[in-house]
Amino acid sequence: MKRTHHCSQLRASDQGSTVTLCGWVDSVRDHGGILFVDLRDREGLTQIVLDPANQGLESQFGSIKPESVIAVSGKVEARFGGTANAKLATGEIEVHASELEILNVSKTPPFPMDDSADKVSEDLRMTHRYLDLRRATNTKMLRMRHATSRAIRNYMDDQAFIEIETPMLFKSTPEGAREFLVPSRMNPGAFYALPQSPQQYKQMLMVGGVERYYQLARCFRDEDLRADRQPEFTQVDIELSFIDREDMYELIEGLMKRVWKDVIDVDIETPFLRMSYYDAMNRFGVDKPDMRFGLELVDCCEIFKASSFKVFSGAIKSGGAVKAFNAKGLADLTQGELRSLEDSAKALGAKGLAFIKCEGGEWKSPIVKFFSDEEKAALSELLQIEDGDIVFFAASEWERACTILGRVRLDAAQLLVKRGKLTIDPNDYKFLWVIEFPLMLFDEDEGRFVSSHHPFTSPVPEDIPLLDSDPKAVRGQHYDLVLNGVELGGGSIRIHQPALQKKVFEDVLKIPADVVESRFGYMLKAFEYGAPPHGGIAFGLDRMVTILTQRTSIRDVIAFPKNQKGQEMMTASPGIATEKQLRDLHIKAVLPKKES
């Protein structure tokens, strides 16, 4: 029995024709011995009528169970008047079966096959991922993920980019996250590393004259998976030559426009907003601000620099800042909610969370008694404090004060959303370029500068002289693309001059010369043979699809994700290797001692 149609295809105009459908039993109802089956395939549902009066069918009725696979031939008939289902594309017709083949019988699934399964334990769903993937929400996700990759490739192809596959068996690199290692059988004692990104290879492709490269590349990070991370993820990796930052912005804005249009038919506005790292931190307390709502941080240093409230004036005097924001309308927060905001602040190093609650025309606050009338008036003016508001403060060094309030701002926004006092529209796409990051940060533990992104990022040309005199003032030609509080991707114009790259490695980052040679020697050498000016960017495909499908986690948009222990439950991966395998690879397992 050969399928003639999909289950979403038949219409009233097909009445009278004989068809064959295949698929899964979505549901079955017995009306006086006649079975009404909703047959489901990838495309949709069709109602099948199985009448025991038809010779031979009834003997198979016992196998018509939800999720069984069947093939059915029969005639397309109009449904009886009044039984048509307007919600279903095929709701005007049904197929009266004359032939039936049971292709496979299903046991009863361990969880419901509709949206209510979202509430089932994730482990149970992942163990039976082949069932979970049959649910409409996941079918849709797989299609949208494919549509996203396709839109990206179509755009990049139109822009004359060449997709090039770079090695997965790479070598260990220093900076960045922890790596997965792969022992080499043919080179005893040597290890491949799975790439964290194709960064070095794509730069070599630029030296190789490719000019415009992209790749949807699998990348790997062996990090603890507390946040929304996966040990393997997919990166949209892009690099091009003879361009500057403006070219990059235009290219990527075009890419996003194309993806949003092709995948969810949304027109996004270009050019995107741009904001310096300093402004992002100063106004939103984070380098990936969600621009869909305000609650901006303001600087209160002018007001408090001579305050008798020493917690504030002291912070300012020692070079720090007093920041605040008005969580407009949140004065009715509960004690529990307040405590939870305070916990967020403390987790980021705050000693507490100072606030002023304005209720019934009165400022309720443990600290307001320390403020002078002028300070109160100035605050009221600066923060537009009205009845029903609550203002939060942070006094610390500038970056920490910003970060603390940035976190409290996000939490407070969620509380306002819960109360219906703030709307954060998931269909509102506020793209933002965050630019002008510092090239380096001083690492107190290591007592040296480290790259804020990676050591290949080019300094802003006019800042190059500062590399020697004031490294922390050097801005990098780095750019992050942020969407609704999520960092979609980032990149930079790279260093292409061998002498400058060597200087950054050795003089600025203080990487020992022998390490530079063993890790990056080939890059420095390559740059001596005509490296063009170049730059690139990389996006997390998983995050992009998570946003496009309005799911909550990247786990939701990966066909076979791993759990927080790095395990894929369905196949029970990772598994055990044999002694012989390990011997061949010149390694031995060294198990941690059991805790007593």
Q: Which residues are part of a known binding site for L-aspartate?
A: 175, 221, 453, 494
Angle 559-561-566 (CA atoms, 0-180°, nearest 5)?
Answer: 160
Number of residues that bind its own copies (CB under 8 A): 120
Residue 221 beta carbon to its own copies: minimum distance, rounded to whole angstroms: 11
Kindly identify the residues of this chain, within the stretch 213-272, that bind its own copies according to CB under 8 A: 218, 220, 222, 224, 231-232, 234, 241-242
The pair of structure tokens assigned to 483 is 């969407």
At 109, give phi and psi (nearest 5°). Answer: -60, 150
Residues 29-58 close enough to bind its own copies by CB under 8 A: 40-42
Calpha distance 303→327 (Å, rounded)? 19
For position 166 contacting its own copies by CB under 8 A, the verdict is yes
Q: Does 205 interact with its own copies (rule: CB under 8 A)?
A: yes
CB atoms within 10 A of CB 509: 19
Q: With contact defined as beta carbons under 8 Å apart, do 409 and 291 qualify?
A: no
Nearer to its own copies, 316 or 526 (CB): 526
Q: Which is nearer to its own copies, 5 or 409 (CB)?
A: 5
Any contact of residue 175 with its own copies (CB under 8 A)?
A: no
Give binding residues for ATP as ranges: 221-223, 230, 487, 540-543
Under 8 Å between Cβ of 133 and 559:
yes
Known binding positions: 175, 221-223, 230, 453, 487, 494, 540-543
CB 457 within 8 A of CB 493: yes
- What distance in Å separates the CA atoms of residue 349 and residue 271, rounded to the nearest whole number? 37
CB of 525 to its own copies, least distance (A): 8
Binding to its own copies, residues 76-115 (CB under 8 A): 103-107, 109
- 326: contact with its own copies by CB under 8 A: no
With CB under 8 A as the contact rule, the residue among 87, 119, 226, 565 that binds its own copies is 565
The answer to whether residue 62 forms part of the interface with its own copies (CB under 8 A) is: no
Contacts 24+ apart (CB under 8 A), 539-542: 539/235, 539/236, 539/481, 539/488, 539/489, 540/233, 540/234, 540/235, 540/236, 540/488, 540/489, 541/145, 541/148, 541/149, 541/152, 541/216, 541/233, 541/234, 541/235, 541/236, 542/230, 542/233, 542/234
Minimum Å gap between C-beta 560 and its own copies is: 5
Rule CB under 8 A: say whether 140 interacts with its own copies: no
30 forms beta bridges with 35
From residue 367, alpha-carbon distances to 108, 114, 372, 392, 408 in Å are 62, 52, 11, 11, 18
Q: Which of 52, 91, 183, 388 binds its own copies (CB under 8 A)?
A: 183
Nearest to 508 by CA among 449, 442, 436: 449
Residue 177 found at the interface with its own copies (CB under 8 A): no
Q: Which residues pair with 541 in a beta bridge?
A: none
Applying CB under 8 A, the span of 9-17, 67-75, 341-349, 369-377 interacting with its own copies comes to 67-75
Residues in the chain: 596
3-state secondary structure of 571: coil
Cβ pair 272, 253 in contact under 8 A: yes
User: Looking only at residues 466 through 525 of this chain, which bind its own copies when binding is defined by CB under 8 A?
Assistant: 496-497, 518, 522
Residue from the set 318, 588, 595, 596 that interacts with its own copies by CB under 8 A: 588
Q: What is the Cα–Cα distance from 340 to 93, expressed in whole angstroms?
A: 56
Among 36, 191, 278, 370, binds its own copies (CB under 8 A): 191
Query: How is residue 393 written in tokens?
Result: 């403060």
Return the residues of window 527-546 that contact its own copies according to CB under 8 A. 527-533
Q: Point out which span in 180-188, 366-374, 405-413, 442-450 binds its own copies (CB under 8 A).
A: 180-188
Q: How far is the CB of 459 from its own copies (least distance, A)?
A: 17
Q: Which of these segments, 186-194, 305-313, 325-333, 444-452, binds its own copies (CB under 8 A)?
A: 186-194
Kindly give, in sequence order, each residue whose CB lies less than 8 Å from that of residue 212, ignoring residues fewer than 6 positions away.
159, 160, 161, 162, 240, 241
Q: How far is the CB of 21 from its own copies (least distance, A)?
A: 10
Smallest distance from its own copies to CB 371, Å: 51
CB of 90 to its own copies, least distance (A): 17
Contact criterion met (CB below 8 Å) for 225 and 566: yes
The window from 344-352, 355-363, 372-380, 552-560 that contacts its own copies (CB under 8 A) reads 552-560
Contact residue for its own copies among 305, 346, 472, 583 (CB under 8 A): 583
Closest contact distance (angstroms) between CB of 507 and its own copies is 20
- Indicate the residue among 129 and 448 with the shorter CB distance to its own copies: 129
C-beta of 314 vs 498, nearer to its own copies: 498
Q: Give the 3-state secondary structure of residue 352.
A: coil
Smallest distance, Å, CB 593 to its own copies?
10
| One of 209, 361, 420, 426 touching its own copies (CB under 8 A) | 209
The CB density around residue 42, as the number of other CB atoms within 10 Å, is: 13
User: Among residues 89, 338, 378, 585, which is the contact residue for its own copies, using CB under 8 A?
Assistant: 585
Applying CB under 8 A, the span of 193-201, 337-345, 400-408, 451-459 interacting with its own copies comes to 193-201
3-state secondary structure of 6: coil
- Among the listed ranges 164-172, 328-336, 396-404, 418-426, the one in contact with its own copies (CB under 8 A) is 164-172
For position 155 contacting its own copies by CB under 8 A, the verdict is: no
Regarding 273 and contact with its own copies (CB under 8 A), the answer is no
Among 36, 61, 111, 180, binds its own copies (CB under 8 A): 180
Sheet holding 362-364, edge to edge: 298-299, 321-327, 390-396, 354-359, 362-364
Q: How far apart are CA 15 and CA 591, in angstroms?
A: 68
Out of 211, 262, 279, 411, the residue judged to bind its own copies by CB under 8 A: 211
Residues 382-441 that bind its own copies (CB under 8 A): none
Instruction: Measure the CA–CA gap between 170 and 237, rounded to whole angstroms.
Output: 16
Do the strands 362-364 and 486-493 form a parallel or antiparallel pair, or are they unpaired? unpaired
Q: Could you say whether residue 451 binds its own copies (CB under 8 A)?
A: no
Of 200 and 326, nearer to its own copies (C-beta) is: 200
